[in-house]
A and B are shown apart, each in its own frame.
Chain A
Amino acid sequence: MERPQDWTLTKSTQSHMINSAFAGEEPSIYDEIIKKEKLFPTAYHFFALGLVYGILYNKKSSKPRKHDIIRMTLISEPTIQDVINACYMILDDGREEKEIVRDMLDYADWGVEALHKIWEKNGSFQLPILIEDAKKIWEKRVKELNNINLEKL
């Protein structure tokens, strides 16, 4: 089905660069997962998973993000655009867009690092288990998030 709408983020936000503490020259997590192991179609697919995982556990990385991955405007996969947009809207608490995006990148870095640890330990991301676990965690986590009407939940 064709996407009915454009990016929710403003034009200026779309031009934001996605960067990470774990990208860049080898050995880096992105390099290992994307180039070596070829576990995701592109780096931004892995970024999106890390982003959601970080928001889910409400954990941010404080490591300096040195290496660029992709400019948001160049993400062509509609599902990933949707996920990033949804995350933005969930985190939107009225602050400046730049700040929210910075938060997103910190969340994503924490998620990417945590996922990498899972993969190293188990040889897989154990996605079905992560997704099943997420059901319970989101139920608690949702109460901390803005922009969700909790009145009748």
Chain B
Amino acid sequence: MKIKEIELYNWGRYQKVTLNVNVTKENNVVLIRARNNQGKTTLFYAIKYALYGKFGLKNHKNQNEPFEWINRQAAAKKDGEMCVQLTIEHDGKEFRIQRGLKFFQTNTGSEIQTDGKEKLEIIDQEAGKPLSDAGKEIAAKQNWINSMLIPLDVSQFFFFDGEDIKRYTDEPEESVKTAILRVLGIKVLINAKTDLENIQKIFNELHNKKLNEQSKDEKTKLKLKEKQDQIKEHEIVIEHLTGALKQAEKLRDSYTEKLRQNVLAQEKIKERQRIKDANHILDKNLKDNDITLREHRGISSLLLLHPLLKIIDSTEENPPSKDQWESKTAQHMIYEKFEKCVCETDIDNKIKEILENKVIELRPNPQAQLKRFVEDIIARTMPDSKFSELRHAIQERIRIQGEIDTNNTIINKINQELSLGTPDEIVKMLKDKEENAQSEIMKIGRDVERAEDQLENLSKEEGLLKRKLEQAIDSEELKTAEEQKKFVQKVRDGIQKSIDAYYKLRKPQLEKHVSDVFLRLINMKKLYTGITIDDDWEMKVKYYDGSLLPTYQYGPSAGASQIVATAFIAGLNKFAQKAGPVVIDTPLGRLDDIHRTNLLEYYNKMSDQVIILYTPTEINDKDQVILEDYVKEHYEIIPYDDMPDLARIVPYERLI
């Protein structure tokens, strides 16, 4: 799927906007820049709303209902319609998805009233009419979008907010896990297994009913009834035990979590120490720099005088050098009593007179003396290079001081987080509690096992009794019911095996995808070897020595988790069977400079169509050069001069 055009009517800050976002294979990036609160996120959610209605809005921090996105100015004027329209290309065909709702004139400040009927149309552009395959009901049309384009839960790997994706590196929520299973193709199998379990229950009940109706052996039937009652009781016991087991596991997990947080705190303490150590080195560097600067300051009088020395250096000697040379030469020739000149001319009285006239008095002249002195100083001291050294030393000082300040900020932040620190006793106490909870889990686990064994025996006995009843009955109907039951059981077991096998096959592939992207995004490739994903989809960064680090420990910056999360999303995106546009709001989030370039270099490779909504501080003019070759369209969202609450989208000229 590719989005070719976006049209907005009375959506958020936009009253009417048509935006061409079509891309080519070579130029697959659309950049949309906007300052904060200008309409960037509004545009992002417009795309999600067009595809998924109110479900597309659920991740917005406060506007989760469609009516909250209606343009207020339009509603204040008269009744109208809010509509978002996407023209898309899918499997070589062009479709138009229109979604919107009617609103009534509403006073400014009041909650906007609507007719409550959301309209969704999917139009086949070639035929020029609604797509019949998508059905008539809104649910059917939504189903078409989910099944043919991108399913709602999977869409989070296509449309995402750079600042929000850090949540993927924490323990993922259930909805994220479901989406991952869907992307991996396992969700279909799990659904099939659940369906079969339901069918199995129906067949079991049917079989029991037939057996009961057709058998005349009342004694065995009574025994069977008793067994089945016992089985039910056991099932209830097992259900209780399983509940207790879950509770105990929850308790244990809460201790584990607290312990983890304490361990985290200890890690933070270590991190703080590491930063303090770094600061010690920086302090030493600062002291060295103090000495260097003192030396440079020592000769700063020369540097301050240097512009004047340069002026003096550029002055003429007085008397001019040529006169001085001629005078000295004439004096020498007279003194040495030259009879001939170098040109073989005889030096007669007339020439001698000329020579004598050339001899001018060369008293030490203060101006000439100063000039020569200055020439000498400049040649010896090279003030220009000394000035460069001074500037370098000052810059170095600013850099070192800046690093120390940053480190101190981090240390203060860690101190705040730790507040009173982490006494070892708390860790010990938590460990004890965790162990106790674990013992309880083991105990209940054994009880469950025992109850399950008993249940298995009861089920066997039930089976024997049923067979005894069946043997006495010669009924085709009963045989069919039995066969159906067995068949469903076999298929169910087969699917479970497939799920296990498929999971084992797919998960390492996903890990490889995620690791590949991660290694592309980081600079210190020698230190990290990839990402591991555990069975609960929690990610860890693999350090070169084989140890596994929590994602936040990758790199020193606050944006470290974003790199891992981006790698995860990009990995899942590549893994999804569906091809779709990637739309990124706040692409660089809190990322530091180190990763900015890597991420920007990677974004265009994420999909055949990448739409990036950014702020000028996130991607500056220099950064844009990285993407320049891939950009098809570059827009800017700006307010109207006379209506600052309304936004318009205009071409941004820099790259095009």
Whether the pair B316, A151 counts as a contact (CB closer than 8 A) is: yes
B595 at the A interface (CB under 8 A): no
A149: contacting residue among B290, B295, B318, CB under 8 A: B318
> In the complex, which residues of chain B have a beta carbon less than 8 angstroms from the beta carbon of A138?
307-308, 311
Q: List 12 A-B contacts (CB under 8 A).
A: A3-B380, A38-B294, A39-B297, A49-B300, A53-B304, A78-B380, A90-B308, A127-B300, A139-B311, A142-B308, A142-B311, A149-B315
Whether the pair B311, A125 counts as a contact (CB closer than 8 A) is: no
Whether the pair A131, B304 counts as a contact (CB closer than 8 A) is: yes
Whether the pair A83, B373 counts as a contact (CB closer than 8 A) is: no
Whether the pair A4, B376 counts as a contact (CB closer than 8 A) is: yes
A86: contacting residue among B294, B297, B377, B394, CB under 8 A: B377
A147: contacting residue among B303, B367, B381, B391, CB under 8 A: B367
A23 at the B interface (CB under 8 A): no
**Residue of B301, B307, B377, B391 with most partner-chain A CB within 10 A:** B301
B92 at the A interface (CB under 8 A): no
B371 at the A interface (CB under 8 A): yes
A binding-site residues for B, Cβ under 8 Å = 1, 3-5, 8, 38-42, 45, 48-49, 51-53, 56, 77-80, 82-83, 85-87, 89-90, 92, 125, 127-128, 130-131, 134-135, 138-139, 141-142, 146-153
**Residue of B295, B304, B315 with most partner-chain A CB within 10 A:** B304
**Which residue of B is nearest A136, CB measured?**
B307
> In the complex, which residues of chain A have a beta carbon less than 8 angstroms from the beta carbon of B414?
none
**Residue of A83, A85, A90, A139 with most partner-chain B CB within 10 A:** A83
Whether the pair B299, A45 counts as a contact (CB closer than 8 A) is: yes
B306 at the A interface (CB under 8 A): yes
Whether the pair A149, B367 counts as a contact (CB closer than 8 A) is: yes
| Shortest distance from the beta carbon of B380 to any chain A beta carbon, whole Å | 5
B334 at the A interface (CB under 8 A): no
> In the complex, which residues of chain B have a beta carbon less than 8 angstroms from the beta carbon of A149?
315-318, 367, 371
Whether the pair B387, A131 counts as a contact (CB closer than 8 A) is: yes
Given contacts A1-B380, A89-B370, contact A141 B308 (CB under 8 A): yes
Apart from A49-B304, A86-B373, A139-B307, list 5 A-B contacts with CB within 8 A.
A5-B376, A41-B295, A41-B298, A78-B380, A83-B302
B390 at the A interface (CB under 8 A): yes
Given contacts A134-B304, A142-B308, contact A147 B370 (CB under 8 A): yes
Given contacts A82-B377, A128-B394, contact A147 B366 (CB under 8 A): yes
Task: Please name the 5 residue pairs, one residue from A and one from B, whose CB atoms are nearest each other, closest first.
Answer: A48-B301, A45-B298, A49-B301, A135-B307, A138-B308
B binding-site residues for A, Cβ under 8 Å = 290, 294-295, 297-309, 311-312, 314-318, 366-367, 369-371, 373-374, 376-377, 380-381, 387, 390-391, 394
| Shortest distance from the beta carbon of B611 to any chain A beta carbon, whole Å | 45
Whether the pair A92, B366 counts as a contact (CB closer than 8 A) is: yes
| Shortest distance from the beta carbon of A122 to any chain B beta carbon, whole Å | 13
Whether the pair B307, A153 counts as a contact (CB closer than 8 A) is: no
Given contacts A41-B298, A148-B312, contact A128 B304 (CB under 8 A): no
> In the complex, which residues of chain B have a beta carbon less than 8 angstroms from the beta carbon of A85?
373
Instruction: Give bound CA distance, A127 to B306, whole Å.
Output: 13
Given contacts A128-B394, A131-B387, contact A89 B311 (CB under 8 A): no
Instruction: Give bound CA distance, A29 to B296, whole Å.
Output: 20
> In the complex, which residues of chain A have a beta carbon less than 8 angstroms from the beta carbon of B391?
128
Whether the pair B317, A79 counts as a contact (CB closer than 8 A) is: no
A45: contacting residue among B297, B316, B370, B390, CB under 8 A: B297
> In the complex, which residues of chain A have a beta carbon less than 8 angstroms from the beta carbon of B316?
149, 151-152
Given contacts A92-B366, A149-B367, contact A130 B304 (CB under 8 A): yes
> In the complex, which residues of chain A have a beta carbon less than 8 angstroms from the beta carbon of B390?
127-128
| Shortest distance from the beta carbon of B591 to any chain A beta carbon, whole Å | 33
B298: contacting residue among A77, A89, A146, A153, CB under 8 A: A77
| Shortest distance from the beta carbon of B387 to any chain A beta carbon, whole Å | 6
> In the complex, which residues of chain A have a beta carbon less than 8 angstroms from the beta carbon of B370?
86, 89-90, 147-148
| Shortest distance from the beta carbon of B129 to any chain A beta carbon, whole Å | 73
| Shortest distance from the beta carbon of A124 to any chain B beta carbon, whole Å | 8
| Shortest distance from the beta carbon of B366 to any chain A beta carbon, whole Å | 5
Instruction: Give bound CA distance, A134 to B304, whole Å.
Output: 7
